[in-house]
Amino acid sequence: MSDKNEMLKAGIIGGIMGFLMSFLMNFLLIPFPSDLLANCLNNGMSGLISGFMGGFVGLFMYFKMATKKE
Protein backbone atom coordinates (compact mmCIF):
# COMPACT_ATOMS: atom_id res chain seq x y z
CA MET A 1 0.00 0.00 0.00
CA SER A 2 1.38 3.42 -0.92
CA ASP A 3 2.02 6.22 1.55
CA LYS A 4 -0.78 8.31 0.00
CA ASN A 5 -3.33 5.56 0.63
CA GLU A 6 -2.12 5.15 4.21
CA MET A 7 -2.30 8.91 4.79
CA LEU A 8 -5.83 8.98 3.35
CA LYS A 9 -6.92 6.11 5.60
CA ALA A 10 -5.33 7.76 8.65
CA GLY A 11 -6.98 11.08 7.78
CA ILE A 12 -10.40 9.44 7.49
CA ILE A 13 -9.95 7.71 10.85
CA GLY A 14 -8.80 10.97 12.43
CA GLY A 15 -11.74 12.84 10.87
CA ILE A 16 -14.22 10.33 12.24
CA MET A 17 -12.64 10.64 15.69
CA GLY A 18 -12.85 14.44 15.46
CA PHE A 19 -16.51 14.23 14.43
CA LEU A 20 -17.31 11.94 17.34
CA MET A 21 -15.53 14.22 19.82
CA SER A 22 -17.37 17.29 18.50
CA PHE A 23 -20.72 15.50 18.49
CA LEU A 24 -20.34 14.12 22.01
CA MET A 25 -19.09 17.43 23.37
CA ASN A 26 -22.01 19.36 21.88
CA PHE A 27 -24.58 16.73 22.84
CA LEU A 28 -23.45 15.82 26.36
CA LEU A 29 -21.25 18.55 27.81
CA ILE A 30 -22.35 21.88 26.37
CA PRO A 31 -26.05 22.72 26.78
CA PHE A 32 -27.77 24.64 24.01
CA PRO A 33 -26.82 28.29 24.57
CA SER A 34 -29.34 31.09 25.04
CA ASP A 35 -27.63 33.71 22.85
CA LEU A 36 -25.68 33.92 19.60
CA LEU A 37 -22.28 34.75 21.12
CA ALA A 38 -22.37 31.74 23.47
CA ASN A 39 -23.38 29.52 20.56
CA CYS A 40 -20.44 30.79 18.47
CA LEU A 41 -17.99 30.28 21.34
CA ASN A 42 -19.27 26.75 22.01
CA ASN A 43 -18.99 25.79 18.35
CA GLY A 44 -15.51 27.32 18.19
CA MET A 45 -14.31 25.36 21.23
CA SER A 46 -15.86 22.18 19.86
CA GLY A 47 -14.21 22.73 16.47
CA LEU A 48 -10.85 23.40 18.09
CA ILE A 49 -10.97 20.23 20.17
CA SER A 50 -12.32 18.02 17.39
CA GLY A 51 -9.80 19.41 14.88
CA PHE A 52 -6.93 18.78 17.26
CA MET A 53 -8.15 15.27 18.04
CA GLY A 54 -8.73 14.50 14.36
CA GLY A 55 -5.24 15.64 13.39
CA PHE A 56 -3.57 13.97 16.35
CA VAL A 57 -5.30 10.61 15.89
CA GLY A 58 -4.78 10.72 12.12
CA LEU A 59 -1.07 11.39 12.49
CA PHE A 60 -0.76 8.77 15.23
CA MET A 61 -2.45 6.17 13.01
CA TYR A 62 -0.19 7.08 10.09
CA PHE A 63 2.95 6.62 12.18
CA LYS A 64 1.60 3.36 13.57
CA MET A 65 0.89 2.01 10.07
CA ALA A 66 4.24 3.26 8.77
CA THR A 67 6.19 1.46 11.50
CA LYS A 68 4.13 -1.70 10.99
CA LYS A 69 5.01 -1.59 7.27
CA GLU A 70 8.78 -1.64 8.00
CA gap 59, 62 in Å, rounded: 5
* pLDDT for res 30: 67
**Mean pLDDT, residues 57-66:** 78
pLDDT in tens, 10-27: 777 777 777 777 777 777
Confidence at 68, pLDDT banded by 50, 70, 90: confident
What is the average pLDDT value for the chain, to the nearest integer? 75
Contact 37, 17 (CB under 8 A): no
Contact 53, 18 (CB under 8 A): yes
pTM of the model as a whole: 0.54
